[in-house]
Amino acid sequence: MRTVGVFDFGSTAIKGSLIAEDSTVIYSISKEHETIYKGKFIEQDAAVQYETFKDITKTFISNLKGNQLAGMIFIGQMQDIICLNEEGIPLANMILYSDTRAVSESEEIKREFGEDRLIKSFGNNLDASIPFAKLRWIKNNESYYNNINKILFSPKDYIIYKLTGEYVCDLTNGSTTGFIDIYKKDYNDELIKFYNIDKSILPRLYKTSQIAGYSKAINGIEETEGIPIYAGIGDAGATAFASGITNTGEVNINLGTTGWTSKISKTPSQDGNVFNLIDYSGGMYINVVPFFNAGNVHKWVKNTFTSNNSYEEIDEILNKRIPGSNEVLFMPYLVGERFPVVDDKIRGAYYGITPNTGKIDLVSSALEGVGYSLRQGIEMIEKDMSKVTIIGGGGRVIEWNKIIADILAHPVEVYDDSEFIAGIALASLVFLDLNIIIDIKDFVSKVSKVRHVEPNMDNNYDELYKRYIQLYPKLKGI
């Protein structure tokens, strides 16, 4: 049987999965990697991640058990920057998306080039997380800037280079870098020339399912030589693709430690709070509203309100909840927030506590607060929902899914087993390209466990939501 190796380069670990042509996961392994923190500097070593990748690949071969490795495809964290010399060796550690060293550079670019001009080309807010600003920081602060021969924007692309000798970037991740005109779906020549950047240092742009090259033998293993290596996709794009939203009006909620709401659109959003990505096909856009706070709130109530740090105890508490939590409201900004505005100083807060307020109200209102926040984000990108899906670890919290459906007053479809769904979806693109399958949806649906949640309309969530959206304006700056 033919298989595809799918590698997910996350912020804390690399996960490799062998997906078979019958949609089954025949082997999976995850290995953590180190993040280096130096104040505002947040970095990782791309060369170390390549060694980890080789170790995972070696275990893949030993677990093929007579099956054939037909191709490899990658998911990668986005908005990183890796600078390479003429020999393709990293000149420094990879600077991560969450690194905020380039604040002054991002503001300088907005002033010099013009914020309106950026929105009309980049289509997003060029803040300190954007690689274009980070490259400006490197120019201003690092002597190795003059030795840069190529730059890459994700650890997966460094792996692709090591396997094939090709420098590539997928369009989804590329649309977060600041270098691309999101409307033309190509490099922003005007911005690049304005800052006198040598365009030859930039990687070639690919759609997710395009072959970037063919692999050299990894660790001398014959089975890994000549395998087609696909460009892959940035992690937010992989989640949107896997979540089953393919048409206008369809919305996805990602409930991880952080979260986001997203939809597919024919055009980028013009709202500055919305992040725009080119989708996996290169033909549509993903409009994303990101949140710092989602599953971390669930973890906080578990740590705070249970006797033994038990998620099961939280489930028992939620089973006893009264919708609306007796009018207690919770603003879930435990670590600041990115939406409705970027505010790293704001923190979480309860409102409406009375002598009758109990633990059940405090727990359920906290998760309702995340639900209100999600509704606020969805209303920013879609006024007429036809479908809502939930993917991520929060999808396993059944009562929380009910809370979200009730607050949205809309049915939600929850992917119960989402651990491998993005990898399986990406593998389907490889199998389709190799003419092994003929239908992506059929391939993915074989393993998708979707739970349908109907809303309970007998509640006062609409009134409480109106009160909730007043909390931040009244509490900011305190």
Domain total of the chain: 2
What percent of the chain stands above pLDDT 70? 100
My answer on whether 198 and 150 are in the same domain is yes
Mapping DSSP to helix (H, G, I), strand (E, B) and coil, where does residue 342 land?
coil
Q: What is the pLDDT of residues 25-40, one digit of tens each?
A: 999 999 999 999 988 8
Quote the radius of gyration of the chain (alpha carbons, Å): 23
The one-letter amino acid code at 130 reads: I
Residue 340 pLDDT greater than 80, yes or no: yes
Segments forming the whole domain that contains residue 433:
243-478
Q: What is the pLDDT of residues 204-259, one digit of tens each?
A: 999 999 999 999 999 888 889 999 999 999 998 998 898 888 888 999 999 988 89
Residue 272 pLDDT greater than 90, yes or no: no
Indicate whether 445 belongs to any domain. Answer: yes
How many other CB atoms are there within 10 angstroms of residue 324's CB atom?
19
For range 395-422, the mean pLDDT: 93
Indicate whether 162 belongs to any domain. Answer: yes
The model's pTM is: 0.88
My answer on whether 274 and 188 are in the same domain is no
Q: Which of 143, 36, 159 is nearest to 95 (CA)?
A: 36
* pLDDT band for position 365 (cuts 50, 70, 90): very high
Residue 446 pLDDT greater than 80, yes or no: no
Q: What is the pLDDT of residue 211?
A: 98
My answer on whether 303 and 215 are in the same domain is no
For residue 84, what are the β-bridge partners?
90, 150
Residue recorded with tokens 């604040």: 103
Mean pLDDT estimate for the chain? 94
Indicate whether 208 belongs to any domain. Answer: yes
CATH number at 308 reads 3.30.420.40
Sign of CA dihedral 355, 361, 362, 368: negative
Q: What is the pLDDT of residues 124-140, one digit of tens each?
A: 989 899 999 999 999 99
My answer on whether 355 and 399 are in the same domain is yes
- Joined together, the tokens standing for residue 19 give 């997906």
